[in-house]
């Protein structure tokens, strides 16, 4: 398959090219820092940002695309589900 953008350098403002399912954990970091999170089923979301700061987002809606660089999604205080880490 042809990819006319294969020679372009990826940027944080460009579209994601890969992703992985996120299993919230209070002790394990994600396999890679994300460029965004997709929230399939909304609720509360507690994350460790790439900077190390911990933030809690309330009332995240179903289907939200959050442009967040996170290293961990915490199980505690996270009720959102079907989370995908985009890179």
pLDDT digits (tens, 9 = 90+) for 24-54: 999 999 999 999 999 999 999 999 999 999 9
Give the pLDDT of residue 7.
79
42/81 Cα distance (integer angstroms): 7
Q: What is the pLDDT of residues 53-72, one digit of tens each?
A: 999 999 999 999 999 999 99
Q: Give SS3 for 67.
A: coil
Sign, Cα dihedral of 12, 14, 20, 24: positive
Q: Decide: 64 and 44 in contact? Cβ < 8 Å.
A: no
Higher-confidence residue of 2 and 42: namely 42
What letter does residue 60 receive in the DSSP assignment?
Answer: E
Structure tokens at 17: 């090219």
- Interior angle at CA 27, CA 26 and CA 28, nearest 5: 110
Q: Decide: 45 and 60 in contact? Cβ < 8 Å.
A: yes
């Amino acid at each position: 398959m042809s990819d006319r953008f294969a020679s372009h350098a990826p940027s944080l403002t460009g579209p994601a090219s890969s992703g992985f399912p996120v299993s919230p954990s209070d002790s394990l970091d994600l396999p890679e820092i994300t460029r965004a999170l997709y929230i399939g089923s909304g609720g509360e979301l507690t994350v460790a940002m790439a900077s190390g700061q911990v933030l809690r987002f309330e009332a995240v809606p179903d289907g939200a695309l959050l442009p967040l660089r996170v290293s961990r999604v915490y199980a505690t205080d996270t009720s959102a589900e079907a989370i995908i880490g985009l890179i």
